[in-house]
Amino acid sequence: MSQNAVKTQDGKLPLMESFYTIQGEGFHSGKAAYFIRLAGCDVGCSWCDVKESWDAEAHPSLEIIKIVTRANESKSRISVITGGEPFMYNLEGLTKLLKKNGFQTHVETSGAHTISGSWDWICLSPKKFKKPLAEAFEVADELKVIIYNKNDFSWAEKMASKVKWGCKLYLQPEWSKSQQMLPQIISYVKNNPHWEISLQVHKFMNIP
């Protein structure tokens, strides 16, 4: 178990929300998926669009079996665990039960906490506010760097130099800066085609 993960009490996790939707970002964009958003985050991104997820105590703790029962009501067999920062908790129990029910397990993490659980896809979205652990780069299937200002491009390259061979590389404009940063991202990707562009297409579709 992770040294810095919080033990789940009686098989419970703090759940901010869960919902069936279309994945809107990164490699799996456009696919139907069931999202499980855990509450609690100690990374503290100033531009976070779900700051209400930061305080775990503001949200109810729910039994893992109930979380998976809700997921089973969806037609998709892709489950995406997000937050907050999901690896503040030991996710062995949750992923085990999801897989037992036929789900592919996907996760998005800042990499700031030790990874636990069994995963089919790991999206590492590192943040300057609390840098990722070395182990996160070793297991990431996808690196998604949020571009807030021009200095983030060089930081993105630094992050990309640490991931394993074959990891997908994405640059994504921070939503409030999209009009300003997207033209720069387009130009950057044209000059550096090892990167691809990720957009938050779920926001364009007005879905969660």
Of how many residues is the chain composed?
Answer: 208
Give, in words, the CATH class of 9-204. Answer: alpha beta
Please give the Cα distance from 16 to 155 (Å, whole number).
Answer: 31
Backbone φ and ψ for 180, nearest 5 degrees, come out as -80, -40
What pLDDT, on the 0 to 100 scale, is given for residue 45? 80
Cβ–Cβ < 8 Å for 90, 5 = yes
State the DSSP H helix or E strand holding residue 124, giving kind and residue range, or none if neither: strand 121-124
- pLDDT of the chain, 208 residues: tens digit per residue: 333 455 455 689 999 999 999 999 999 999 999 999 999 999 888 878 788 888 999 999 999 999 999 999 999 999 999 999 999 999 999 999 999 999 999 999 999 999 999 999 999 999 998 989 999 999 999 999 999 999 999 999 999 999 999 999 999 999 999 999 999 999 999 999 999 999 999 998 999 8
Tell me the domain boundaries of the chain.
Answer: 9-204
What pLDDT, on the 0 to 100 scale, is given for residue 51? 84
Backbone φ and ψ for 76, nearest 5 degrees, come out as -75, 150
Query: What is the pTM assigned to this prediction?
Result: 0.93
